[in-house]
Structure 1
Amino acid sequence: MFREEKTFVLRFSLEARFPENYDGEEDDYAWLKRWEGQIKPEILKSIFTLLRRHPDLKAHIRNRGISAEDEIEIVIEKDFPEAEDQ
């Protein structure tokens, strides 16, 4: 079987800015908890909803040993049928 591959990276860099009088971790990382608990899952759901509209593609999450808080890899596969012998 011959395989071709292409990697595409969509990177999110999260930043929070606080006023000068902010005293460290007062908010207990509420902005980051919102990302992890609400926004990131909504993004992933949207991606898989869109990919399901393309029945010729199969998508799944692949874990390469990196925490899902730091990286999520989505594998999108397309299989081509074997040519019939003539």
Structure 2
Amino acid sequence: MHREEKTFRLRFSLEVSFPDDFDGEEDEFAWAREWEGRIKPELLKDVFESLRRHPAWNAHIRNRGISPADEIEIVVSRDFSGPQPFRIPS
């Protein structure tokens, strides 16, 4: 079977700013917990909901051994190896 691939990356870099007199222990990384606990799960849910609107494509998460706190890979695939539906040219 012949296979082709293309990589597309959508990268998020999280940055927070604090006043100069901020002691790094004060917030106990509350911003990171907000990202991991609320924002990232909502974002992933929205991505998969969007992909489901394209039924010819399949999507799943692939684990390459990197912590999901650092990377989540979503594989979006389409199979052309089987019979294709008959289409009347327009």
TM-score, normalised on structure 1? Answer: 0.93
CA shift for structure 1 position 83: 5.6
What SS does the aligned partner of 1:76 have? strand
Q: Which residues of 2 match residues 9-24 of structure 1 at below 5 A? A: 9-24=9-24
Paired amino acid for 2:6: K
The answer to whether 1:73 aligns with 2:73 is yes
Deviating beyond 3 angstroms after TM superposition, the runs of 4 or more aligned structure 1 residues are 81-84
Gaps of 5+ in 2: 85-90
Gaps of 5+ in 1: none
TM-score, normalised on structure 2? Answer: 0.89
CA shift for structure 1 position 24: 1.5
Aligned equivalents of 2:63, 2:83: Cα separation in 1:
33
> What is the total number of aligned residue pairs between the two structures?
84
The answer to whether 1:34 aligns with 2:34 is yes
The answer to whether 1:4 aligns with 2:9 is no
Paired amino acid for 2:52: R
Paired amino acid for 1:4: E
Aligned CA RMSD, in angstroms, stands at 1.3
Aligned equivalents of 2:2, 2:35: Cα separation in 1:
39
Q: Which residue of 2 aligns with 1:54?
A: 54
Give percent identity, aligned residues only.
64
